[in-house]
């Protein structure tokens, strides 16, 4: 048998043994296998669970018995395990089972970069976002003396969580001693390769053809040049070229034709010649990676990383107006602020990945986590630079969620120039949406398909649907419209809602909407310390400023470790610090930070300072205004400017005050579109929790907040219905209103004052009516007493007359008793006579009963006679029939004729006998008749 056949049989036995060992539910140490994920030339990867630590892992098992491959496999594990980096796959354990090596890796869910890109061109910003983590992984690996040597899109994984992982350092090369000392010192210290150099010497020889052809550097093609870390930089350049240009630099060459890469005198095509729209500076970076002489490329991955990071979104300084702050303060980041939005790159990538497969998503998180900024300044710009055409519309439910939806649909339907006509069509559209919730999705999908663009509908502050809309039917109509928009993953529509996590349990009110939303929940936690640091430091750096000391930054972050809503507070403090910056030294100084009270006092001191600058007569109105902008649940309320004007009889005063607070960035006014008016709200919820003055006001009016909400709704309804008296409060609510008026020191809108006045007037009228009823009752009782006295005199006289009449009555009683005795005797006689009469009547009745029974017997006898007569008739008819039959059969048989005669004779005798019986019965009846009268019924039958 040849050696090759022996090797094949050995390999087959090895594969068979492996399959037996790695059957589902089998175990390797504490790992229980679940299923096979895939297999390659060297090994098979299985999904398994770590029964000890309770996590899922991937197990890679070598399926060959070649000692050299086994050793290479072990070296891959050792090399990768030494590179501890967030962008390199983690190795948990290395071992052997049944003589075969295995390693346990972190289990990653996602797609290879090759599948994510799909051969299409990507925008430069998106390309850089994808490749910077790869280069960071190379920096770590090269620092450990490891060269990947097979970097390609298939070895780069984009996880579902949005992170980038570099896989398979399986043919990594540790720099050998024959390289120059300068190169060795630049990649890693000499000690980094100790212990591996001897083991690798017979596995990875200089000049060996190892790698994937389209991504191999000139030195990998065996041109006599040593392979080192710059081989990986070449592969990065090829990947960048393919994503930016949509093709390989040497297209259409394939396979062995790519060997021209090794010809050092023939330069690679320049990126700008293939993709002229790529920024010149970025194209120069790619071209430098693809210089065939490795000495001319970037010196190391760190230098390449610095060059690429300059093109990350937000790394180039945006055009800021003079004195414009790079911080958002208490306001949400908008799409235009995308270059200043930091700390959420991983979450943004994860949501971009998920939203491609989910038509309806919810960004869920606590207050202050930055949900609105995350979508507006993170997700929307990321989608627009992803290579696909995206548009985005933003709405907030407010008090009229259907109206907010109608505002984005109406421009696609209306064509009138009249404001009155627009208002009428807006109202008609809202009613149609309530009856036909699918109309919104139909219109928006039509627009998206017509423009050949994808559309994102962002519903910001989704919890307002429950804090601002009291009617459940209105809420259900709104969620039904959203379901109609995001109904299928293949449609060009996506809906994203942002909702506070403590309101998530309200969504199941609409079961269908919750069933769809439940599959698209994206939980956004508060920013960690690293994210907060980026959000604080990097905007200042982009504007050309820096913090005076690292300790200052650490102190600011330390104050926010356990703070709810840390991001807006940090942004606001940074904004305040920016306004007091040292422009000469371009510094944000510690002295200014201490003077403003640090993070904790920045917001409170600012609000208090604004309040202190207001006139004393305005502070009561400010208190009422802020209390109106907070719901009983202590969340922000969106209030129309018209409703705020009701807080004061002087509408100009309330407008001027609201404008002052907006200028002070404590309030924000949003101008409505379509039929909607301007609305006012607190700039951020952190004011509710972090401003002690407002917190004290809320505590003082805690008992009144619910009553004020009831008063506000009742007064509005009363006023809307033409001030119908039937809508005024009665009973206990009147007493509560009176107590409220006695203790409340704030101002109330005129409508509410009128309502309370009408309630009091109605209560006063009711009191007067009750008083009149009491007086009338007292007069009635007095008259009743006088009448009782007169009646008493009459009773006394009547008593005397009654005594006289009693004596007369006794005399009459004696006479009556005698008459009664006589009447009783007479009655007894009449009773006896009646009893005798009844006995006689009973006897007559008994005789009549006997006669009736006799008549009944006669009737039954008559019936028997009729039945007998019928039988006789039938017998005669039968006899005649037999006679006719006999005559017809006479010639045929004499015997039949004889029998017929006998039958006839017997019939005749029977007739005679029956006639004799009938005659006798008739005579008996005649004798019976002589005994008494015969009923008419019987006589009639006799006549018949």
Residues with a catalytic annotation lie at 150
Percent helix / strand / coil, the chain, rounded to 5 = 60, 10, 30
According to DSSP, the residues that pair with 58 across neighbouring strands are 47, 105
Alpha-carbon distance of 234 to 220, in angstroms, equals 11
Plot region of 438 (φ>0 → left; ψ -120 to 50 → alpha; else → beta): alpha
Nearest to 300 by CA among 231, 209, 391: 231
Spell out the residues 6+ positions from residue 628 whose beta carbon is closer than 8 angstroms to its own: 637, 639, 643, 644, 647
Count helices and strands (H / E) in the chain.
34, 21
Rounded to a whole number of angstroms, the distance between the first and last alpha carbons of the chain is: 130
CB 456 within 8 A of CB 445: no
Name residue, tokens 């999705």: 441
Report how far apart, in Å, the C-alpha atoms of 254 and of each of 215, 248, 260, 264, 287 are: 12, 10, 11, 19, 21
Helices 230-245/280-289 angle, 10° precision? 140
CB 480 within 8 A of CB 473: no
Which three-class secondary structure string do you get for 678-723?
A: CEEEECCCHHHHHCHHHHHHHHHCHHHHHHHHHHHHHHHHHHHCCC
- Runs of H (alpha helix) within 299-437: 301-309, 345-355, 371-373, 380-384, 401-413, 419-435
Spell out the residues 6+ positions from residue 504 whose beta carbon is closer than 8 angstroms to its own: 362, 364
Alpha-carbon distance of 627 to 107, in angstroms, equals 51
Backbone angles phi, psi at 488, to 5 degrees: -160, 140
According to DSSP, the residues that pair with 35 across neighbouring strands are 47
CB 877 within 8 A of CB 911: no
CB 572 within 8 A of CB 602: yes
Alpha-carbon distance of 580 to 589, in angstroms, equals 9
Report how far apart, in Å, the C-alpha atoms of 825 and of each of 635, 812, 839 are: 101, 20, 21
Plot region of 942 (φ>0 → left; ψ -120 to 50 → alpha; else → beta): alpha
SS3 (DSSP) at 488? coil
Alpha-carbon distance of 577 to 583, in angstroms, equals 12
CB 750 within 8 A of CB 718: no
CB 399 within 8 A of CB 405: no
Neighbouring CB atoms inside 10 A of 762's CB total 15
Backbone angles phi, psi at 35, to 5 degrees: -165, 165
Alpha-carbon distance of 341 to 266, in angstroms, equals 44
Q: Is the peptide bond before 252 cis (omega within 30 degrees of 0)?
A: yes
Neighbouring CB atoms inside 10 A of 784's CB total 9
Binding residues are 60
Binding residues for ATP are 60
CB 408 within 8 A of CB 377: no
Report how far apart, in Å, the C-alpha atoms of 587 and of each of 317, 322, 395, 552, 578 are: 17, 16, 39, 12, 9
């Amino acid at each position: 048998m040849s050696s090759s056949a022996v090797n094949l049989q050995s390999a087959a036995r090895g594969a068979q043994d492996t399959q037996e060992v790695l059957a589902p539910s089998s175990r390797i140490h504490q790992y229980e296998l679940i299923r096979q994920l895939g297999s390659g030339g060297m090994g098979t990867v299985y999904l398994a669970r770590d029964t000890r630590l309770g996590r899922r892992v991937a197990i890679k098992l070598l399926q060959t018995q070649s000692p050299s491959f086994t050793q290479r496999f072990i070296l891959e594990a050792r090399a990768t395990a030494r590179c501890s980096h967030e962008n390199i796959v983690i190795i948990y354990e290395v071992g052997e089972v049944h003589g075969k090596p295995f390693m346990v890796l972190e289990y990653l869910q996602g797609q290879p970069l090759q599948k994510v890109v799909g051969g299409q061109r990507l925008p430069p910003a998106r390309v850089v976002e994808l490749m910077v983590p790869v280069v960071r992984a190379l920096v770590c690996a090269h620092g450990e003396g490891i060269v990947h040597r097979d970097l390609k899109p298939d070895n780069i994984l984009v996880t579902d969580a949005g992170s980038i992982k570099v896989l398979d350092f399986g043919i990594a090369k540790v720099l050998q001693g024959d390289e120059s000392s300068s190169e060795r010192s630049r990649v890693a210290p000499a000690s980094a390769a100790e212990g591996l150099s001897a083991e690798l010497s017979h596995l990875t020889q200089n000049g060996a053809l190892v790698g994937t052809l389209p991504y191999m550097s000139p030195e990998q093609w065996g041109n006599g040049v040593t392979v080192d870390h710059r081989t990986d930089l070449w592969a990065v350049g090829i990947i960048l070229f393919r994503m930016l240009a949509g093709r390989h630099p040497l297209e259409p060459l394939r396979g062995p034709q790519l060997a021209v890469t090794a010809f050092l005198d023939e330069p690679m095509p320049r990126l700008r010649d293939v993709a002229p729209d790529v920024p010149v500076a970025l194209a120069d970076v790619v071209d430098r990676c693809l210089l065939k002489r490795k000495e001319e490329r970037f010196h190391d991955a760190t230098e390449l990383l610095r060059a690429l990071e300059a093109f990350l979104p937000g790394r180039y300084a945006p055009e800021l107006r003079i004195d414009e702050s790079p911080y958002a303060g208490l306001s949400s980041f908008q799409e235009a602020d995308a270059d200043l939005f930091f700390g959420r790159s991983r979450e943004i990538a994860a949501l971009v990945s998920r939203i491609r497969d989910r038509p309806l998503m919810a960004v869920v998180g606590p207050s202050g986590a930055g949900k609105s900024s995350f979508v507006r300044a993170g997700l929307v710009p990321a989608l627009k630079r992803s290579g696909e055409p995206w548009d985005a519309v933003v709405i907030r439910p407010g008090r009229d969620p259907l109206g907010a939806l109608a505002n984005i649909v109406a421009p696609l339907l209306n064509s009138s120039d009249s404001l009155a006509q627009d208002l009428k069509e807006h109202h008609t559209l809202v009613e149609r949406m309530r009856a036909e919730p699918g109309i919104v999705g139909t219109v928006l999908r039509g627009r998206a398909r017509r423009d050949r663009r994808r559309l994102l509908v962002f519903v910001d502050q989704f919890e307002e649907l429950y804090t601002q809309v009291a009617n459940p039917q209105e809420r259900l109509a709104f969620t039904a419209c959203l379901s109609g928009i995001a109904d299928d993953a293949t449609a060009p529509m996506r809906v994203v809602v942002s909702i506070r996590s403590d309101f998530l349990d309200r969504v199941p009110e609409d079961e269908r909407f919750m069933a769809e939303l439940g599959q698209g929940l994206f939980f956004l936690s508060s920013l960690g310390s690293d994210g907060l640091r980026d959000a604080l430091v990097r905007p200042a750096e982009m504007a050309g400023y820096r913090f005076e000391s690292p300790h200052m930054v650490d102190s600011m972050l330390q104050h926010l470790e356990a703070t709810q809503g840390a991001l807006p507070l940090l942004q606001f403090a940074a904004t305040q610090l920016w306004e007091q910056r040292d422009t000469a030294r371009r510094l944000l100084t510690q002295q200014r930070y201490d003077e403003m009270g640090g993070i904790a006092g920045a917001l409170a001191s600012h609000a208090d300072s604004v309040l202190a600058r207001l006139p004393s007569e305005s502070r009561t109105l400010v208190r009422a205004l802020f209390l109106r902008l907070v719901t009983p649940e202590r969340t922000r309320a969106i209030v129309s400017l018209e409703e705020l004007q009701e807080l004061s009889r002087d509408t100009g005063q309330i407008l001027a005050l609201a404008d002052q607070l907006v200028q002070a960035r404590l309030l924000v006014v949003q101008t409505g579109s379509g039929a909607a008016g301007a609305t006012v709200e607190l700039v951020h919820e952190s004011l509710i929790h972090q401003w002690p003055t407002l917190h004290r006001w809320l505590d003082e009016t805690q008992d009144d907040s619910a009553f004020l909400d009831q008063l506000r709704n009742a007064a509005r309804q009363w006023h809307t219905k033409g001030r119908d008296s039937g809508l005024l409060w009665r009973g206990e609510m009147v007493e509560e209103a009176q107590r409220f008026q006695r203790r409340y020191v704030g101002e109330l809108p005129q409508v509410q004052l009128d309502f309370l006045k009408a309630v009091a007037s109605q209560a006063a009228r009711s009191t007067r009516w009750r008083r009149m009823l009491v007086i009338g009752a007292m007069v009635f009782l007095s008259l009743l007493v006088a009448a009782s006295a007169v009646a008493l005199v009459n009773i006394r006289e009547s008593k005397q007359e009654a005594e006289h009449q009693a004596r007369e009555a006794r005399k009459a009683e004696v006479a009556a008793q005698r008459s009664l005795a006589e009447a009783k005797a007479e009655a007894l006689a009449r009773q006896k006579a009646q009893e005798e009469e009844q006995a006689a009547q009973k006897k007559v009745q008994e005789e009549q009963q006997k006669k009736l029974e006799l008549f009944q017997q006669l009737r039954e006898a008559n019936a028997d006679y009729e039945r007998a007569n019928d039988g006789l008739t039938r017998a005669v008819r039968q006899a005649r029939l037999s006679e006719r039959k006999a005559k017809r059969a006479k010639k045929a048989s004499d015997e039949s004729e004889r029998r017929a005669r006998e039958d006839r004779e017997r019939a005749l005798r029977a007739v005679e006998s029956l006639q004799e019986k009938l005659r006798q019965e008739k005579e008996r009846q005649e004798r019976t008749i002589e005994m008494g009268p015969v009923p008419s019924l019987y006589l009639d039958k006799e006549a018949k």
